[in-house]
């Protein structure tokens, strides 16, 4: 991976994803480009200089000459910020996704600013279930804590009581997680979600919609309700998505992946300090309508 010099001619550097190359190599006609995405991860729009003394042609010069990343195929790393087309020109704000770090049962663990998942019964026994940010990874349904992300316009310039326009409300989400580490679990304890796709990097994708997966994707409560007041969005609100995580059998039954991918850390989650094995990972949530994406830090813990 490298940066491409963008100070001269405009550069187009396109590559196929791993899946695209696989289908092309099959030679059976299954390779057809039907969709593509554009992103602007490298661009800092704060470089726009409307006070440039050389005139308007130079206002965006620093942006246009910003080096861009060379194209690469790893879908877990590319295009965090996808470009979208919005036909309306009267929008001052676009909706975002934001971790709900307000509710007692949705907060992150303060010391690590991540969610802690205890992967087996022995590890769960070392912690207090009510500790904010700590999730049970085996007896998932018995642990109250969960992960919640709120969607909407995060601004105080528009009252929270204003309804969010229908075309800005996310009704479908794509949730991605390393399938070697965990599965998505119903927030009310009804079991694991159905995996939609697992790619060659063992990243599992779950497609969750408002209509088909009502336990996961919900409408935002009335802002005057207690739960509505605990929403992380400051302005008009769309939907919320919430879930738990069930640790994989590999993490539950062995320390192999911890020894290969992780390290050790000392934490006090109950009455005594424990030197846990841990693996740091993320859960990635993308809105299907706006393409907005958020990465949620997860730490998997296993008692020795």
21 and 106 assigned to the same domain: no
Q: 22: domain range? A: 1-83
Average pLDDT over residues 169-193: 93
Domain count, the chain: 2
The answer to whether residue 53 sits within a structural domain is yes
For residue 77, is pLDDT > 70?
Answer: no
Which value, to the nearest 10 degrees, does the dihedral of the CA atoms of residues 261, 285, 186, 197 take? -70
Q: What is the pLDDT of residues 201-227, one digit of tens each?
A: 899 999 999 988 889 999 988 887 777
Average pLDDT over residues 183-201: 90
The answer to whether residue 269 sits within a structural domain is yes
- Of 33, 57, 83, the one marking the end of a domain is 83
251 and 204 assigned to the same domain: yes
- Of 83, 114, 145, the one marking the end of a domain is 83
How far is residue 253's CA from residue 56's CA, in Å, rounded to a whole number?
Answer: 63
Q: What is the pLDDT of residues 251-299, one digit of tens each?
A: 999 999 999 999 999 999 988 999 999 999 999 999 988 888 999 999 9
CB atoms within 10 A of CB 248: 18
100 and 66 assigned to the same domain: no
The answer to whether residue 163 sits within a structural domain is yes
The answer to whether residue 146 sits within a structural domain is yes
The answer to whether residue 249 sits within a structural domain is yes
64 and 202 assigned to the same domain: no
Global confidence as pTM: 0.83
CB atoms within 10 A of CB 233: 23
The answer to whether residue 91 sits within a structural domain is no
- Of 83, 112, 145, the one marking the end of a domain is 83
The answer to whether residue 149 sits within a structural domain is yes
75 and 135 assigned to the same domain: no
127 and 252 assigned to the same domain: yes
CA distances from 161 to 10, 235, 295 (A): 45, 8, 28
159 and 252 assigned to the same domain: yes
104 and 252 assigned to the same domain: yes
Lowest mean pLDDT among 14-18, 42-46, 98-102, 215-219: 14-18
32 and 181 assigned to the same domain: no
CA distances from 197 to 178, 179, 202 (A): 12, 10, 9
126 and 235 assigned to the same domain: yes
Alpha helices for the chain (secondary structure H): 18-26, 61-64, 121-124, 226-229, 249-253, 256-261
The answer to whether residue 139 sits within a structural domain is yes
Query: Running DSSP on this structure, what letter comes out for residue 202?
Result: -
184 and 143 assigned to the same domain: yes
* pLDDT interval class at 8 (50, 70, 90): low
129 and 4 assigned to the same domain: no
Helix (H, G, I), strand (E, B) or coil at 188: coil
Q: Output the pLDDT for position 78.
A: 67
């Amino acid at each position: 991976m490298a940066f491409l010099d963008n100070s001269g001619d405009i550069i187009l550097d396109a590559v196929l994803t791993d899946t695209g190359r696989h289908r092309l190599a099959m030679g059976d006609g299954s390779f057809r480009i039907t969709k593509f995405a554009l992103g602007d991860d490298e661009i800092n729009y704060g470089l726009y200089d409307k006070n440039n003394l050389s005139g308007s042609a130079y206002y965006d010069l620093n942006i246009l000459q910003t080096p861009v990343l060379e194209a690469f195929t790893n879908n877990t790393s590319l295009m965090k910020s996808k470009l979208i087309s919005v036909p309306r020109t009267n929008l001052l704000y676009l909706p975002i996704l934001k971790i709900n770090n307000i509710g007692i049962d949705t907060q992150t663990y303060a010391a690590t600013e991540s969610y802690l998942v205890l992967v087996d019964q022995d590890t769960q026994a070392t912690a207090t279930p009510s500790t904010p940010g700590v999730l049970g990874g085996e007896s998932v349904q018995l642990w109250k804590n969960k992960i919640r992300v709120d969607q909407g316009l995060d601004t105080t310039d528009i009252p929270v009581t204003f309804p969010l326009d229908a075309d800005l409300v996310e009704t479908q989400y794509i949730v991605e997680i390393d399938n070697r580490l965990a599965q998505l679990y119903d927030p009310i304890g009804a079991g694991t979600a159905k995996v939609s796709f697992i790619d060659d990097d063992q990243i599992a994708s779950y497609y969750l919609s408002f209509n088909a997966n009502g336990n996961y994707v919900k409408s935002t409560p009335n802002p005057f309700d207690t739960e509505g007041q605990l929403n992380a969005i400051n302005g008009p609100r769309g939907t919320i998505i919430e879930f738990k995580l069930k640790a994989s059998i590999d993490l539950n039954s062995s320390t192999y992946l911890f020894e290969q991918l992780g390290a050790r850390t000392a934490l006090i989650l109950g009455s005594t300090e424990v030197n846990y094995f841990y693996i740091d990972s993320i859960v990635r949530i993308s809105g299907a309508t706006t393409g907005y994406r958020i990465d949620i830090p997860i730490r998997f813990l296993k008692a020795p």
